[in-house]
Amino acid sequence: MNPVTGLRELPPLMRGLVGAYVVSGVTHLVRPQVFEPTIPPQLPKARELVYLSGVAELVCAVGLVNPATRRAAGYASAALLVAVLPANVEMARQAQASVRRRSTPGKQARLAGMLARVPAQWPLIKASLDIARR
């Protein structure tokens, strides 16, 4: 399997998702402390959950690129996006609270990005399911 060929076979939105999974997955593994505050306090072992989600993102990225595993990876990707939605909502909530405490252009830009992430997950979930159903 040639990963470049496999990547080219994907629609542009899915290529972007693969890239986002790779960057985010590596960041989860290298700097887990960035994501730990987004883990709901009811869930145990925040650091382990951050590592797990990072590995899941990398597995989905590889699976989406490989035509032999693309169907399963599409379903797994949709499930992963649903699973991390609460963390993205929490990140947006935290960014909003930070702006309320002391607004700066950087904090406002972060808030805008975090707010945009939440509804952006729906087309990514749909695209993941579309890939799985091909």
Locate the domains of the chain by residue range.
3-129
Distance, CA of 56 to CA of 13 (rounded, Å): 19
Residue pLDDT tens, the chain, 134 long: 676 777 888 889 899 999 999 999 999 999 999 999 888 888 889 999 999 999 999 999 999 999 999 999 999 999 999 999 988 898 899 999 999 999 999 999 999 999 998 999 999 999 999 999 98
Chain-centre distance for alpha carbon 45: 19
Q: Look at residue 73 and give its three-state secondary structure.
A: helix
